[in-house]
Structure 1
Amino acid sequence: MTLSIDIFDQTETLSSEEIETIENLLQFAALEERVPKDSEVSITFVTNKDIQEINRDYRGKDQPTDVISFALEETGEDEVEIQGADLPPHLGDIIISIEKAKEQAEEYGHSFMRELGFLSVHGFLHLLGYDHMTKEEEEKMFSRQKEILEKFGLKRTG
């Protein structure tokens, strides 16, 4: 196993099969992206209310969103890098709104599982440094997401 994944379903609405699929998908994405062995990531599934609070507090946007990622391996200004040869890399945290995932699955005409997978991979790629602030970054990130999801078997029509 490449990743150590902590999954928290605060909504208590996901099935064990859905959770297992997300875990397998993130393991697959980690292999595809050549993430160092024993890297750690957490993924938390929340309500629109919860993600709206996070979005407001950390991004200054007082509205629900679908996914938020907090990369822990990035060193920002005035931050000290934690060093230690024995520490596995903790990539960060992914937070996903179950309600937004359901809304968007319906809006885009694909399965809830495909949308949950898309948001999980999207958040994971953010942890790895992908972004979509420019057109070039967006094309690179979204094509990589699509490639990972299709190789894994979560196609848009599924």
Structure 2
Amino acid sequence: MIDRRIELELSVQQPFWESPGAASFPDPAIASETWESWFASWLALMRAELPSARGYELSVRLSDDGEIRQLNAGYRQQDKPTDVLAFAALEVDSPLAGPFESDDLLYLGDIAISVETAARQAIARGHGLTVELAWLAAHGLLHLLGWDHPDDDSLSRMLAQQETLLHAVGLEI
């Protein structure tokens, strides 16, 4: 059940390829309300890990391999496409990482997902594009909240948490 006390401002930026004359890419076909429902459910489930605030704000950018490759090269010095990137607004050493009380929404950061890569991964993993996009969005959210996977143990914990988040919204990987 969604915790209605959590206010969420979510911006899902429409893919640029939906413009006239753009190349053809897989259509994620996920309504804004679905994205909002997923993130609200996930934030409610993880409330204990969140800085206290009236609500939270984040953005999701659905991109293609070319755009995410540029982001990956610019921010991570890896000149190749990837499936998801997360740009956390809160850093562990930030004064906001501690107790935070505000009447404003707390900005968590940005998530960029390559729909092209997600489509290939969905086929390889034997599930639909919606499940893969939710999986990647959950992964990105965990990064925004300070989760990381520098070793196998932390990766296993993070993947298990992603499964928990997907299950909470009725999806299975």
Partners of 2:42 and 2:95 lie apart in 1 by 29
Match for residue 147 of structure 2? 130
The answer on whether the counterparts of 1:18 and 1:113 sit within 8 Å (CA) in structure 2 is no
Amino acid at match of 1:22: W
Matched, 1:71 2:76: no
Deviation, 1:26, is: 1.0
Deviation, 1:22, is: 2.2
Secondary structure, in 3 states, of the residue corresponding to 2:112? strand
Deviation, 1:23, is: 2.1
The answer on whether the counterparts of 2:86 and 2:141 sit within 8 Å (CA) in structure 1 is yes
Secondary structure, in 3 states, of the residue corresponding to 1:22? helix
Match for residue 110 of structure 1? 127
The answer on whether the counterparts of 1:8 and 1:45 sit within 8 Å (CA) in structure 2 is yes
The count of aligned residue pairs is 152
Match for residue 21 of structure 2? none
Partners of 1:80 and 1:130 lie apart in 2 by 18
The answer on whether the counterparts of 2:166 and 2:172 sit within 8 Å (CA) in structure 1 is yes
Partners of 2:161 and 2:92 lie apart in 1 by 24
Secondary structure, in 3 states, of the residue corresponding to 1:117? helix
Distance 1:75 1:142, change over 3 A: closer
Amino acid at match of 1:57: G
The answer on whether the counterparts of 1:51 and 1:64 sit within 8 Å (CA) in structure 2 is yes
Deviation, 1:89, is: 1.4
Deviation, 1:84, is: 8.5
Match for residue 23 of structure 1? 36
Deviation, 1:151, is: 2.3
Matched, 1:4 2:17: no
Residue by residue over 1:39-86, the C-alpha shift from the partner in whole angstroms, topping out at 9 and shown as x without a partner, is: 11111101110000000010001111000000001166xx887x9844
Partners of 1:116 and 1:23 lie apart in 2 by 14
Amino acid at match of 1:6: S
Structure 1 stretches lacking a partner, 5+ long? none
Distance 1:110 1:129, change over 3 A: same
Return the TM-score normalized by structure 1: 0.86
Structure 2 stretches lacking a partner, 5+ long? 19-26
CA RMSD of aligned residues (A): 2.1
Distance 1:49 1:88, change over 3 A: same
Identity among equivalent positions (%) equals 33
Return the TM-score normalized by structure 2: 0.79
